Chain A
Amino acid sequence: MDEHTSTYQPKSAFERWLDARLPIVRFSADLMEFPTPRNLNYWWTFGAILAFCLAVQIVTGVVLAMHYDASGAGAFLSVQRSIMRDVNYGWLVRSIHANGASMFFLAVYIHIARGMYYGSYKAPREVLWLLGCVIYILMMATAFMGYVLPWGQMSFWGAKVITSLLGAFPVIGDPITKLLWGGFAVDSPTLNRFFSLHYLLPFIIAAVVGLHIWALHVPGNNNPTGVNVKSKTDTVPFHPYYTVKDLFAVSVFMIVFALFIFYLPDAFEKVDNNVEANPLVTPAHIVPEWYLLPFYAILRAIPDKLTGVLALAAALGSLFALPWIDTSKVRSKRYRPMARNYWLVWVLAVLVLGWCGSQEPDGHVFPGGAGPVFIDYGINTVTWLSRIAAIYYFVWFWAITPLLGFFEKTLPVPDSLATPVLSHPATVPAGAAAAPQTKG
């Protein structure tokens, strides 16, 4: 924050010497002292959880790269035989890395949802939000390229389908896909460049995370009330208050993570990916990883190729526009009952899209027939359900969100972020208002 001045005092002659040359200790000390709203709840711990996830992915990824053979002929065996069977603890490192990707996305979706619910994207945090969106896109690109590396059937056909998306564009589409593939089809050159980029992008992500944290430290954290920090009493130092809270949350998160690593290592893996890539046969049912399913459903809902690809891009682009299409003056949806309900339906629509993406396009939603055919599919099909959900997805962004700012009657917003904390019955029991605590 602007008024925040450094309180670091070098303690030794060496620290004074270093501080005059590279004030890195001062920088870290100031980060730890950073005044943080006193009312952050557990939804705010996902930033730390995500930092943990990124670190885990980079460390395990560097190890896996030591044993991985990035060639069409050797990739599959280097994963399935060397890493999974021969390399000491290779199975463990791969299980952490593969499940880590899912954990990373689980955490990022909660983190994004928290930002949406409490209006963290609103002024003056627009750049913070945009950088977050950039990180999310980079994560998807990294995860997609990482998924190709084991060179199984799902890897191969996932790569083919996603790169073919760009072929939808007239004139430039074909040269671009050929450029990406380095050939006339997904092949060894494609695998090699994906490996190179999969190794590079996490470090780009780390750099953008640095900017993200910088952009966080200029306006400071939002908080569950959405009310600005007004005085020093509204904040506590980041350390020890939030380092401890974050550490506790990371520990709980690690328990869930460990359950997958040790008890459900294949929970997110498609059986077909244990079959080596075969350019002549597409698996009967190909679906992307769970974290991409909602966008896949939007792509598939539209019967025209180019429009489908543009809708997919617009679904992501809408996220970037959110700070400017939300016209409400109130940040937190705690005080926006209508916005809260419409948003919860939007979350439901995203989950429905995710389910649709995992089903066959002509599958039936409810037991029984497909129902009367409308345009191309029966009403009771996954395709029509995904169309309805996709329409809501966009209507929420581009109609409901801007209009609510004008028409919604919001609840009274507290004067300071401390008011709801101090007046909470659990914090202040009747008759014991200011009694000092003697036992702890």
Chain B
Amino acid sequence: MVDSVAHPVADHEGPTDEGRRDFLYLATGAVGGAGVVAIAWPLIDQLNPAADALALASIEYDLTKVALGQEVTIAWRKQPVFIRHRTQAEIDAAVRDDHAPMKDPATDASRVKPGHAQWLIVSASCTHLGCVPTFKGGEYNGWLCPCHGSMYDTSARIRKGPAPKNLYLVPYEFLSPTKVKIG
């Protein structure tokens, strides 16, 4: 066994063969790696929202259905949205706190459309972990999140609790003084 020629090719070719072998390893690895990436991406991306979920739907809402001092929760793109008909006292309270210390400072005027200060239209998902806050709960008379106690004021700004941001604004426009289009 010992005196038989164990590696005739290696003895014959020597270092040249080593270089070719390294190249083959690298090339095989690169092709294989590219193949893995090429198949991994479709397998990951299929988890993303499908085309039907992505189709941007906009909805119209008749504001006369919301009495003064009340709110409604409607679904836009399957996400809850608050439409709150604020009283003058609630608007005043929000404006008064414009410069109070806040996590996510914003003036009340920046959160409503000019001339429509009585209508506050915001995403109804708590910016902490997505629960729908309870109307008029908490110390600021705005909303109280039932999950982890985040408190929002009457401008839907975060005032206390773990949520990092104010309730997000959603894109909308007034079609008439009593009708909005969300989305």
Contact = CB atoms under 8 A, between A and B. Distances in A.
A308 interface: yes
Contact of A282 (B79, B131, B161): B131
A265 interface: no
A65 to B, nearest CB: 21
A167 B163 CA distance: 12
B129 A165 contact: yes
Given A280-B73, A280-B124, A179 B130 contact: no
Interface string B130-165: 111110000000000111110000000000111110
Interface string A383-423: 10000000000000000000000000000000000000000
B49 A305 contact: no
A183 B162 contact: no
Interface string A146-182: 0000000000010011111101000000000011111
B48 A178 contact: yes
A165 B160 CA distance: 19
A306 B53 CA distance: 28
A337 interface: no
A280 B132 contact: yes
A147 to B, nearest CB: 16
Given A187-B78, A280-B80, A362 B149 contact: yes
B168 to A, nearest CB: 11
B108 to A, nearest CB: 23
B131 A304 contact: no
A281 B73 contact: yes
Contact of A182 (B47, B127, B149, B161): B47
Contacts of A189: 49-50, 53
Interface in A259-295: 279-286
B36 interface: no
B59 interface: no
A161 B129 contact: yes
Contact of B146 (A160, A178, A179, A286): A286
Contacts of A179: 44, 47-48
A178 B50 CA distance: 11
A178 B129 contact: no
Interface string A297-309: 0001011111010
Contact of A183 (B53, B75, B146, B160): B53
A13 to B, nearest CB: 37
B162 A304 contact: yes
Interface centre among B127, B130, B133, B149 (most CB of A within 10 A): B130
A164 B129 contact: yes
B43 to A, nearest CB: 12
B132 A182 contact: no
A214 to B, nearest CB: 28
A184 interface: yes
Contacts of B133: 282
A178 B73 contact: no
A308 B73 CA distance: 29
B49 A178 contact: yes
Contacts of B130: 160-161, 163-164, 167
A173 to B, nearest CB: 11
Nearest to A284: B146
Contacts of B145: 282
A124 interface: no
Contacts of A281: 73, 132
Contacts of B160: 376
A213 B164 CA distance: 44
B47 A286 contact: no
A286 B131 contact: yes
A361 interface: yes
Contact of A160 (B44, B49, B50, B131): B131
Interface string A304-340: 1110100000000000000000000000000000000
Given A286-B131, A304-B164, A182 B80 contact: no
Contact of B78 (A184, A284, A360): A184
A185 B48 contact: no
B46 to A, nearest CB: 9
B53 A182 contact: yes
A294 B65 CA distance: 44
Contact of A308 (B47, B131, B147, B162): B162
Contacts of A285: 146
Contact of A157 (B44, B127, B131, B163): B131
A177 to B, nearest CB: 9
Contacts of A283: 146
Interface in A355-372: 360-362
B129 to A, nearest CB: 4
A362 B161 CA distance: 11
Contact of B148 (A183, A280, A361): A361
A164 B147 CA distance: 12
A116 B123 CA distance: 46
A193 interface: yes
14 contacts: A161-B147, A167-B129, A179-B48, A182-B48, A183-B53, A184-B49, A184-B77, A279-B75, A280-B74, A282-B131, A282-B145, A300-B149, A300-B162, A361-B149
Interface of A: 157, 160-165, 167, 178-185, 187, 189, 193, 279-286, 300, 302-306, 308, 360-362, 376, 383
The 9 closest A-B pairs by CB, nearest first: A164-B129, A164-B130, A282-B131, A361-B149, A161-B129, A282-B132, A183-B53, A185-B78, A160-B130
Given A164-B128, A284-B146, A304-B162, 11 more contacts: A163-B130, A165-B129, A178-B49, A181-B49, A184-B77, A189-B53, A193-B47, A281-B132, A305-B128, A362-B149, A376-B160
